[in-house]
Structure 1
Amino acid sequence: MTITLRRALAATVLMVTGAIAAVTPVSAAAQQIPAMTGIRTGQNPGFDRVVLDLSAGPAPAVRYDLVDELIADGSGEIVWLTGEFFIAVTATPAAAHDDAGNPTYPGPQKFRTRNLRNVMAVAVTGDYEGTLSIGLGVRSRTPVTVFTLTSPNRVVIDVRH
C-alpha cells in the first residue's frame, strides 16, 4: 500500500468517525443528575422506612455509615439532630438543587418523625458536587438497609425497630 493510499484511507476513517461522533447524541441520563424532590417516612412491620424521591436520571450509588455525629458537607459543622445514634446516608450522583442552583426539595432541611418507632429525625446534611447526604437520628442501633429503586428513582432507607 502506498503512502498516498494510506493517508487517504486514514483521512476517510477520521472523517467517518467524526461524522458518527457528531450525530451520536450523548444520552440525557448521562448529563442529568437526579434531584431530590421529596422525603417520605413510614412505619412498617419490623422497620421504619425513609424514602428520598428523585427526578429522572441514572440511579445513584448509595451507602450508609453509623456515626457518632452528623457533619454538614462543605462547612464541617455538626448537624444537631434528635437521636441517640446516627446514620449518615450518601447518594451519588444526586442533588437537592437544579442546574441553576434552585432547590428542588421544598421541604424542611430537618424534621422530627414522631410517627416512627426507631427513626426520630431526618436532616439534609449535604448537597455538594453531585453527592446528596442525609442524616437520621435513631433511638437504637439496629440493622440498616439502603437501596435504590427506579421508575421513578428513589433511595430507600430501612431501619429495623
Structure 2
Amino acid sequence: MNHSRRLAAAAAASILLTSGALASAPAYAQTQAPPETALVVNARAAAHGSFDRFVIDVKGKIPPTTVKRVKELRYDGSGNKVPLPGKYFLEIKLSPAAAHNDAGQSVYKGPKLKKLNFPKLKGMAFTGDFEGVVTFGLAFKTKPYWTTFKLHHPERVVVDIAH
C-alpha cells in the first residue's frame, strides 16, 4: 500500500512538472504582483531665502529613499570620483528605482553633473542607475543640515538644506 502511494505521488509530480504547473517562479508571483520600479525622470536644485532645495522627480510610487553623509562622491559601477568641489557630501539613494526603461533607454532628463553657487549647495551629480538603485550626490563647502520629505501630484523627493 505504501509503495503504491509513492508511485502515485511520483506520477502526479511528473505530470505537473511536464505540464509546467510547478515551474519555478519568484515567491512574490505566488501571492502578489512584483514590486513596481519607480522611474527617476529629473532632478533640479534651487536657492530659497533660508534653504537650498534639491528635488528628484519620480514617475510611479516614490521608493524608499536614504540620505546620508559620505566622505566623497563616487560613480556607481566605475567607482570613479565625482569631480565636484566640496568638503562635505550627501549621497541620496532611491530603491527600487531606475532611470531607464525596459528597453534600456534613459528616461532621466536632468543634469548629470552641475556646479552651483547657492548659499549652501555647491554641486549636484547623477551618480548611478545600477541594479535597481538610482543615486545622486550633493556637494557642500560647509557641513550640511537637511530635511527630507516627499511631495505628491507629481511625485517627488525633496531635500532641503538649511542656510
TM-score when normalising by structure 2: 0.74
Q: What's 1:37 paired with?
A: 41
Match for 1:131: what amino acid?
Answer: V
1:35 counterpart SS class: strand
Q: What's 2:65 paired with?
A: 62
The Cα of 1:52 is off from its aligned counterpart by: 0.6
The Cα of 1:55 is off from its aligned counterpart by: 0.8
2:97 counterpart SS class: coil
| Contact 1:62 1:146 survives alignment (8 Å) | no
Correspondent of 1:120 among 113, 119, 122: 122
Q: 1:42 to 1:31 in 2, by over 3 A?
A: same
TM-score when normalising by structure 1: 0.75
| Contact 1:81 1:121 survives alignment (8 Å) | yes
Match for 1:37: what amino acid?
Answer: V
| Contact 2:74 2:127 survives alignment (8 Å) | yes
CA distance in 2, matches of 1:25, 1:138: 43
The Cα of 1:63 is off from its aligned counterpart by: 1.0
Q: What's 1:156 paired with?
A: 158
Q: Does residue 88 in structure 1 map to residue 91 in structure 2?
A: yes
Match for 1:141: what amino acid?
Answer: K
| Contact 1:60 1:148 survives alignment (8 Å) | no
Q: What's 2:22 paired with?
A: none
Match for 2:56: what amino acid?
Answer: L
Match for 1:143: what amino acid?
Answer: Y
**Which stretches in structure 2 are left out of the alignment for 5+ residues?**
1-30
1:79 counterpart SS class: coil
The Cα of 1:73 is off from its aligned counterpart by: 1.3
In percent, how many aligned pairs have the same letter?
A: 35
Paired residues, number: 134
Q: What's 1:143 paired with?
A: 145
**Which stretches in structure 1 are left out of the alignment for 5+ residues?**
1-23
Match for 2:129: what amino acid?
Answer: D
Q: 1:32 to 1:129 in 2, by over 3 A?
A: same
| Contact 2:125 2:136 survives alignment (8 Å) | yes
Q: What's 1:100 paired with?
A: 103
